[in-house]
């Protein structure tokens, strides 16, 4: 079924329908254009939002960037930024593939439609012109027939009139004959015009207009097909970015799962651990001394030997800075930054010095690699002069050597400062532990017997090791038994190092003595019995209580 056959008489209907189709195409183009503007505005707002909440400081200068919470938030912001980029891509695809192409296609359809309807109107005008000619010839034929009949009646009346002359009768007959001849000619012309119009009309309704209507039908169907494809582009543009958007959402989920509360707590410790020793006990200040009390009058400030402990107001009190308020006047003063970071707390100073040392070592290695590369290039130039002048490399080699020497001096300087800072940190730790914790009780079991290799001794030792903390009374009881450990064998390599937290007097066989803060080599880890095998710098080895050590494995 086609328009030329079924809608042969619906010229105005087809004109309205094709115009409606083009208007629909234009409305869809306008809709997609506004949709792209919405997408672009959405993407712009997302990017502005991301920019607003992104950290302003570089990552290396921002301590908060070390927390997993902050890292996850930054990753989510980056994923949102990538999501905004995909919305911009959707807007771009819609603008190019839909707005521009369909708008251009709409213009082409309008021109084609205009051409077809102009052709149809010309055909209508031609048919109307033929119909007007037919009507004119018909009216002329009708008029001539009436005139001929009237002339014949006049001639017949004069012929019967006895008073009419012969000349009048002849004249009337001639006039009637003339009118009759003219009517015959009009009849022939009308018949010819009618035949011509019928032929043109048949051509108009059965050939010319059906062809035009069929062209309009083909044009409209092509427009509808193109519009349907445009509808598909709307979803296709979305489907193209779905995989990337899915990755963005997956990245957000990964960022959410990456939040590690325990690790963040450890990061906070690493960032702000000062390394200062904890404040000591507040001593009693005896203000009753000037009262000259009798020796029998004991007081809280009088020691058991009878000698009072003087605490005059001139003595400085211990600094309890963690709980004290900062001086308002000091807030206006700027901290003087020193090269060795001595203005920082001990632990932070050690970390900063370690960072500087690592940076200098990296720079030094880079300069060494560059020097080696320049030497090889110089050798190549010397062997193949056409490739370059060896002397041209001398300034760069000299500069590299100077940089190496400078960096070596800086490395030595930072190593010295780092060693001093680490010693201060260890000293502060020892002081804190010495003031605030008494040494724990040594294990109730005897140290391991290295000469015994049977499993019974090992299981017996495990049974003897107590899981409950030993009582204070057990500290005075004999806790060591016989040792068969042979310490004269060739010892293995150290598996770590440790620092003595408390002083230990190794009076039993198999144990060694150690001083508080002494560095020791770790030879064997605790097997569950509470003893650790260590080696002193003097070379002697033995067991010490594990709870008396701070151990670091290699």
**Which tens digit of pLDDT belongs to each residue from 165-178?**
888 888 888 988 99
Per-residue pLDDT at 459 exceeds 60: no
Of 25-34, 56-65, 496-505, the poorest mean pLDDT is in: 56-65
Q: How far apart are the first and last CA of the chain?
A: 90
For residues 108 and 509, what is the distance between their CA atoms, to the nearest angstrom? 106
DSSP for 12-45 reads HHHHHHHHHHHHHHHHHHHHHHHHHHHHHHHHHH
The pLDDT tens digits for 509-542 are 889 999 988 999 999 888 878 889 999 988 889 9
The pLDDT tens digits for 539-550 are 889 999 988 888
How many CB atoms sit inside 10 A of residue 376's CB?
10
**Which stretches of 162-208 are DSSP H helices?**
166-203
3-state class (DSSP) for residue 523: strand
How confident is residue 430, by pLDDT bands cut at 50, 70 and 90?
Answer: low
Q: Which residues pair with 281 in a beta bridge?
A: none
306 dihedral zone (left: phi>0; alpha: psi -120 to 50; beta): left
Nearest one of 271, 272, 278 to 428, comparing CA atoms? 278
For residues 365 and 149, what is the distance between their CA atoms, to the nearest angstrom? 131
The pLDDT tens digits for 336-356 are 677 888 878 877 888 888 888
Per-residue pLDDT at 260 exceeds 60: yes
The pLDDT tens digits for 464-491 are 443 444 434 344 444 434 444 444 445 5
Mean pLDDT of 374-378: 87
CA 289 to the chain's CA centroid? 72
User: How high is the pLDDT of residue 227?
Assistant: 93
User: How high is the pLDDT of residue 290?
Assistant: 58
Place of tokens 């309009």: 216
User: How high is the pLDDT of residue 479?
Assistant: 40
Token reading at 294: 């009798």
Nearest one of 86, 90, 91, 65 to 249, comparing CA atoms? 86
How confident is residue 237, by pLDDT bands cut at 50, 70 and 90?
Answer: very high
Nearest one of 351, 521, 350 to 424, comparing CA atoms? 350
For residues 102 and 26, what is the distance between their CA atoms, to the nearest angstrom? 8
Q: CA of 327: how far to CAs of 278, 332, 467, 532, in Å?
A: 21, 10, 49, 48
Per-residue pLDDT at 443 exceeds 90: no
């Amino acid at each position: 079924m086609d328009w030329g056959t079924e809608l042969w008489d619906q010229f105005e209907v087809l004109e309205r329908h094709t115009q409606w189709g083009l208007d629909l195409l234009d409305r869809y183009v306008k809709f997609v254009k506004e949709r792209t503007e919405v997408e672009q505005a959405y993407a712009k707002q997302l990017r502005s939002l991301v920019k607003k909440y992104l950290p302003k400081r570089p990552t290396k200068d921002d301590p908060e960037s070390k927390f997993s919470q902050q890292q996850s938030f930054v990753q989510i912001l980056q994923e949102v930024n990538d999501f905004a980029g995909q919305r911009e891509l959707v807007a771009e695809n819609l603008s190019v593939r839909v707005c521009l192409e369909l708008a251009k296609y709409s213009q082409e359809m309008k021109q084609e439609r205009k051409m077809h309807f102009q052709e149809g109107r010309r055909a209508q005008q031609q048919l109307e012109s033929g119909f007007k000619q037919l009507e004119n010839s018909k009216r002329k034929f009708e008029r001539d027939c009436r005139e001929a009949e009237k002339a014949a009646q006049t001639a017949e009346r004069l012929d019967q009139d006895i008073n009419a002359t012969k000349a009048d009768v002849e004249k009337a007959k001639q006039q009637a004959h003339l009118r009759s001849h003219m009517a015959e000619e009009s009849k022939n012309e009308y018949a010819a015009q009618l035949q011509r119009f019928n032929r043109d009309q048949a051509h108009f309704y059965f050939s010319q207009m059906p062809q035009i209507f069929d062209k309009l039908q083909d044009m409209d169907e092509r427009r509808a097909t193109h519009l349907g494809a445009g509808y598909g582009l709307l979803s296709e543009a979305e489907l193209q970015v779905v995989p990337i958007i899915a990755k963005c959402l997956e990245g957000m989920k990964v960022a959410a799962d990456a939040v590690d509360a325990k690790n963040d707590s450890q990061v906070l410790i690493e960032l702000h651990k000062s390394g200062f020793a904890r404040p000591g006990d507040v001593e009693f200040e005896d203000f009753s001394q000037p009262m000259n009390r009798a020796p029998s009058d004991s007081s809280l400030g009088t020691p058991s030997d009878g000698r009072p402990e003087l605490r005059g107001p001139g003595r400085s009190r211990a600094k309890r800075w963690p709980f004290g308020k900062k001086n308002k006047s000091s807030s206006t003063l700027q901290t003087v930054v020193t090269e060795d970071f001595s203005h920082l707390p001990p632990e932070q100073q050690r970390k900063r010095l370690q960072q500087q040392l690592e940076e200098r070592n990296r720079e030094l290695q880079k300069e060494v690699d560059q020097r080696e590369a320049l030497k090889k290039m110089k050798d190549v130039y010397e062997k193949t002069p056409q490739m370059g002048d060896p002397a041209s490399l001398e300034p760069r080699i000299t500069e590299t050597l100077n940089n190496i020497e400078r960096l070596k001096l800086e490395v030595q300087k930072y190593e010295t400062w780092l060693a001093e800072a680490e010693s201060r940190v260890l000293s502060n730790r020892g002081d804190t532990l010495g003031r605030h914790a008494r040494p724990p009780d040594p294990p109730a079991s005897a140290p391991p017997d290295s000469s015994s290799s049977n499993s019974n001794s090992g299981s017996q030792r495990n049974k003897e090791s107590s899981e409950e903390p030993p009582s204070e009374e057990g500290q005075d009881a004999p806790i060591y038994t016989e040792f068969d450990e042979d310490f004269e064998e060739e010892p293995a390599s150290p598996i770590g190092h440790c620092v003595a937290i408390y002083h230990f007097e190794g009076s039993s066989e198999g144990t060694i003595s150690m001083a508080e803060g002494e560095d020791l080599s770790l030879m064997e880890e605790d097997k569950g019995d509470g003893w650790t095998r260590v080696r002193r710098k003097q070379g002697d080895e033995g067991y010490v209580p594990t709870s008396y050590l701070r151990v670091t494995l290699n």
